[in-house]
Structure formats: C-alpha cells, structure tokens
Amino acid sequence: MNIVGTVIAVLFIMTISSFVFKKFNILTDQTNISSHKSFINGCKTVPLSGGFVFFLTLIFFLPENYQYFTILIFFLFLIGLLSDLDILHSPFFRIIFQIITIVAYLFLFDNFASSTRLIFFDNLLNIFFIKLFFTSFCILVLINGTNFIDGVNTLVVGYFILVASNILYLAEIRNLDLDILLISTCIISLIVIYIFNFFGKIYLGDGGAYLISFVVGVILIKFSNDNYIVSPYYIVALLWYPAYENLFSIIRKKTSKKSPSIPDNEHLHQFIYLYLDRLFNINKNFSSTLSGILICLYNLFYFLFIIDEYHQTKTLVYSIIFNILIYNLLYFLLRKKLFKNK
C-alpha cells in the first residue's frame, strides 16, 4: 500500500466533499434536528462528510474481491445517511434495516462469533440460529452504541483509530492472521478524518458512526475467529465503551420511564463536556475536542495495559468489570455535581 498516495487521496476527497456539502448545504448538521450536536456546537453549520469520506476511501482502495463487502456496507451507510438527511425518522425502522444488512453480511461471509470460552454457551453457538442471533445482537449493540458516543469531537474517530491500531500492532508482533489491507485502509482514512474532526470542521453523522463501527467490528470478529489464541474477551475489552454506553443508556432510560429510542443529553461524554466547559469557561469547540481526547486517552492507557493480556481471559474479564465500575462512578459523580441544585 502506498501510504503517502492514500493520505493525499483521502485529503482530496475530504476537502472537495466538505466544500461541496457546505456550499450547497447538502448533508450538513441541522441543529434543529440534531439536538445532541446543537447541545455542544450551537448553531454552527458543519458538513457530515466523515462517513462519506470513509466509505469512498474503502471503495477506491480495496480491490475487486471486496465488491460484495462494499455493497453491503453501502446499504448500512445509506441507513445512517437517510437518518442524517432527516428522511428515515423512525429508530424502529433504522434498527430493522440494520438487522437485515447485518444478517445479509453474516450469511454471505460466514463471519459469526464462534467462541465465548464458556462450554455451555459455545455448545449453544453450534446451533445456527442462536449463533446468528448472538452475532447480530453484538454488532447491533456496537453500531448503535457508537452512534450514542458520537457527540463530541474526535471521540468516535479517535477511539476506533486506537482499536484498529491495537490489533494491527498485535498481529504484527505476534504474527497473527489479520486482513492487513482492510485495517490499514481504515486507519489511514480515520487519521485524516480525525484531523478535520479535531477542529470541528466535519462530523461523522449517523452514516459514519454506523459504517466505521461495523467495519472495525467485523474485522475484530474475524480476527478472533482466525486466531484462537486471542481470547474473545480481548475483543470485548477493545469495544467495551460504545457497547456499554448503549446498554447503560437503555437501562437508564427504562429506569426513568423514557423511550430508549429517544435521544437525550445525558451521556457520559456530554457530562464531561459540561464539566470542562464550566471549569475552564473556554471555547465550546475546544471543550468538545478536549472531552473526546480525555476519554480516548483513558482508553489508550487501558489498551496498552491489556495488549500483553490478549490471551488471558480471566484478566480481561476483570479489566472489563473495572472499566464498567469506573464508568458508573464517574457518570454518577458528574451527574450529581452538574445537577446538584435540580
């Protein structure tokens, strides 16, 4: 792969698409629709071109034998794109279309989650429909959890750069099987997108969040299947944050008797943003970017800790539980501090 040429091409796609989208007001963030973005960025108009750039990069730089894969990810991207364009309003129908796309992928590529290191559950996974349901559920939780955390600059892009770089590094030093071309293309594209997102010049949009998380998610499933020495809990550990954000948000809304499908501004990253904004009273865009960087820094140190424990299931399970406890503790401390007078 020509890295320099790929970077230049992605920069070109990014610059042209962002200019066109903004000039003609196509696929731009409409704050009257996207309340979780207006919460932080006010009335600023920003093109939702991150997902479009990521998709075009995969189309242009992956060879012909990826054609069925690119067709499937186009449909997933389209679901998010229709949401960004305020055409596909219903969360229910978005999930239905996501499930159809995920199931089609699993049938075509036979890339199912095959092991949990629990004998009883692994025996159940030998039953096709249970395996299909479980894998679809995991991917569905990931892509929607990723969309939940896409509320501050650099968070989603930075997080998946860390995840993708982690398994690329592990595959190189341990000589493990990995689709190097696909993961490298993802990383290069994400780094370029990160630079623009850092300054608040572009957003991913729903299409970008769905697409990036799906592509990296299925890469990780295959990586785990192709390398039995890698514990499946290592994959869970890498993806713990968006997955837990989804599950925690559903439980939180159900407890508050709210619909899980209705977006709100009570996610951890939004609390961190509010706290930083009040603490430093600085530019809102900078507070947004700093929030994303701090969360990614925490996960960077966590990933560095677990990279040598990739085969130690017990250690990985303990580390995931520790992260969940830290998340809950920080969430409720910030919530109490920010809304103590309400």
Q: Evaluate if residue 341 carries a pLDDT over 70.
A: no
CA angle 237, 240, 245 (to 5 degrees): 170
pLDDT over 70 at 323, yes or no: yes
Please compute Rg for the chain using Cα positions. 19
Distance of CA 128 to the CA centre of its chain: 27
Residue 332 CB-half CA count within 13 A: 7
Give the C-alpha separation, 272 to 100, whole Å: 35
Q: What is the pLDDT of residues 239-272, one digit of tens each?
A: 999 999 999 999 998 888 888 777 788 899 999 9
Give CA 324 to chain center in angstroms: 18
Indicate the pTM of the whole model. Answer: 0.92
**Cα(37)–Cα(273) distance, rounded to whole angstroms?**
12
**H or E segment at 266?**
none
Assign 46 a pLDDT band (cuts: 50, 70, 90). confident
What is the rounded CA–CA span in Å between residue 49 and residue 195?
13
Cα dihedral value 197, 199, 203, 208, nearest 10: 0
pLDDT in the model for residue 133: 96
- Non-local (6+) Cβ contacts of 62 within 8 A are 69, 70, 181, 182, 185
pLDDT in tens, 25-41: 877 775 433 344 544 54
- Phi/psi at 47 (5° precision): -70, 140
- Distance, in Å, from the CA atom of 182 to the CA atom of 169, rounded to the nearest integer, reads 14
